[in-house]
Amino acid sequence: MPDKDAGTPRVFLIRHGETEWTKSGQYTGRSDIPLTADGEKQVISSARVVVGPGKMIDPSRVTQLFISPRLRALRTYELLFDEPTRHQFEGKVEITEDIREWDYGLYEGILPSQAKAGRKERGLDREKSWNIWVDGCEKGESPAEIKSRLDGVIAKIREIQGPYMHGEKPVDVVIIAHGQILRAFARRWLGFEVGVKLPMMLEPGAVGVLSYEHHNVDEPAFMLGVNMADREE
């Protein structure tokens, strides 16, 4: 049975590799923490499997990359794509705060359990438990602020990909960022509010894929499974 959506543009969501705070579970927003040695290995292993000519992320099909300015994301970019490929991407890379991690405000560097305990000490959450997706962060970002900056990136991507829904031109997009913001991005891509209950997981160094149904830019979709076979031109 032929793939009815073959040739439809894709958006690859790539989470940076492991850091020390990834391991401990501490909120890591504005802090610039390097990848661990294992984190670098995670990214290199992913690159071997999914990056290259004819593979899931074929550099010849990538028209734009959006990268968080945090060092852990920039290092992930360097490990994913070799120097000749990065040279090939010149003019296609946008390093932007719009795709940086959620600003956790008072919760930066602490565990979720500590954030909840601190809120209760300050007299918050008496009627319901704190939910970052709904309530945001004290002295940090709200879901509305997250929505605003992510919607701007999504609008840019739709403008890039919209004219080429049937594969007339390769216009895949790569986003290299962080766990929380990429899950928020997937919600907004699908048209859901940031606070909607939609449990998702994205491991360090892992790749998620978004696209469209029926070759239609107005039907954004999440690719539940990806065929790893070579993509035909």
Q: What's the pLDDT at 224?
A: 81
**At 44, which CATH number?**
3.40.50.1240
Q: 94: which strand partners? A: 66
Distance of alpha carbon 56 from alpha carbon 9, whole angstroms: 12
Domain presence at residue 5: no
Mean pLDDT of 83-93: 97
Question: Is residue 16 annotated as part of the catalytic site, yes or no?
Answer: yes
pLDDT of 225 reads 75
Residues 6+ apart with CB under 8 A from 182: 13, 15, 175, 202, 208
pLDDT above 80 (res 230): no
Above 80 in pLDDT, residue 233? no
**pLDDT at residue number 5:** 63
Paired with 175 in beta bridges are: 13, 66
Two tokens, residue 197: 């209950």
Confidence of residue 162 (pLDDT cuts 50, 70, 90): very high
Question: Would you say residue 233 lies in a domain?
Answer: no
The Cα angle at residue 155 between residues 222 and 71, in degrees rounded to 5 = 80
Three-state DSSP class for residue 19: strand
Q: Does residue 227 fall inside a structural domain? A: no
Structure tokens given for 90? 């010149």
**C-alpha dist (Å) from residue 207 to 69, 125, 137, 183, 204:** 19, 35, 27, 12, 9
Annotated binding site for substrate: 28-29, 72, 101-104
Residue 134 maps to a domain: yes
Catalytic residue among 16, 108, 141, 178: 16
- Domain assignment of residue 67, given as a range: 11-222
Q: Which of 18, 101, 108, 141 is catalytic?
A: 101
Q: Does 101 participate in catalysis according to the annotation?
A: yes
Domain count along the chain: 1
Average pLDDT over the chain reads 94
List pLDDT tens digits, range 169-189. Answer: 999 999 999 999 999 999 999
Partners of 67 in beta bridges: 95, 176
Contact 12, 175 (CB under 8 A): yes
Domain membership flag for residue 179: yes
Between CA 195 and CA 60 the distance in angstroms is 36
Is the model's pLDDT at 128 over the cut of 50? yes
pTM, whole model, 2 decimals?
0.94
Binding annotation: 28-29, 72, 101-104
Q: Give a yes or no: residue 169 inside a domain.
A: yes
Kindly tell me if the per-residue pLDDT of 89 is higher than 70: yes
The answer to the question of residue 37 being in a domain is yes
The model's confidence at residue 113, banded by pLDDT at 50, 70 and 90, is very high
The pLDDT score that the predictor gives to residue 73 is 98
**28 assigned to some structural domain:** yes
The pLDDT assigned to 1 comes to 34
pLDDT confidence of residue 12? 98
Percentage, residues of the chain above pLDDT 70: 94
